[in-house]
Amino acid sequence: MPVQDYKELRVWQKAVDLVALIYSVTQSFPAEEMYGLKSQLRRAAVSIPSNIAEGQGRASSGEFHHFLGIARGSMLEVETQIHIAQRLRYLSQAGE
């Protein structure tokens, strides 16, 4: 049975959870990062579920796959920015 609504997609649900987590953990970033890493990380995170939703609403599966690719790129941005935040000691490493 095909998905009728992007909100039914588990990947979209997980991506929205990630956005909430990113907003929570970046709350404690230094004030000078308001327009830097904090903002960039939040925008990249928001881009993930947004592109999944936009792609699911398109007319063809090819377009959907295109937007999933964009969402994947945003996920890799988030991953990179988390590594940078850890290196700057704004975030702790997992397990610390």
In a domain, 5, yes or no: no
Inside any domain, residue 25:
no
For residue range 66-88, list pLDDT tens digits in order: 999 999 999 999 999 999 999 99
| Assigned domain for 3 exists | no
Cα separation of 63 and 69, whole Å?
10
| Domain containing residue 53 | 30-96
Within a domain: residue 95? Answer: yes
Q: How many domains does the chain have?
A: 1
Q: What is the CATH number of the domain that holds 36?
A: 1.20.1440.60
Domain assignment present for residue 1? The answer is no
Q: Could you tell me which of 56, 47, 63, 41 has the C-alpha nearest to residue 9?
A: 56
Interval 7-52: pLDDT, tens: 999 999 999 999 999 999 999 999 999 999 999 999 999 999 999 9
